[in-house]
Amino acid sequence: MDEHPDWAVVVLFYCAVQMVEVMAAAESLHNHDHAMRNRWVKERFSSIWGHYRVLQQESLKTRYLEGGDFNITTARARNLRQNRLAPLIDDIEARLNARGPVIETKVKKPVATK
């Protein structure tokens, strides 16, 4: 994070994407693109939408210079990790833990062959 805080922000956003997709998978859903994922999070999970959106916007600025000249500092990247990604992960983990096991797997005993 210290050497490349700009790219660290991109990684933070994609960590958020993966966490959101874990939550979607628990509902047997796969978001096919960012627009679909954005709508789903905004409509269903307002408690994380703000965190998710800020991470996405900062990632876009880093990759595409959206919004003009952009230089991110290590302090900003750390702030995003602590104040945006961490609460998003905590919220999603709490939701998933409250659900209990999402997928029940049964181990089959091997059939003996002669």
- 40-83 pLDDT, tens digit per residue, is 999 999 999 999 999 999 999 888 876 655 678 899 999 999 99
pTM above 0.85, yes or no: no
Portion of the chain with pLDDT greater than 90, in percent: 59
In this prediction, residue 42 carries a pLDDT of 96
- pLDDT band at residue 104 under the 50/70/90 scheme: very low
Based on its alpha-carbon atoms, the radius of gyration of the chain, rounded to whole angstroms, reads: 18
> Which is higher by pLDDT, 106 or 47?
47
Phi, psi angles (nearest 5°) of residue 5: -65, -30
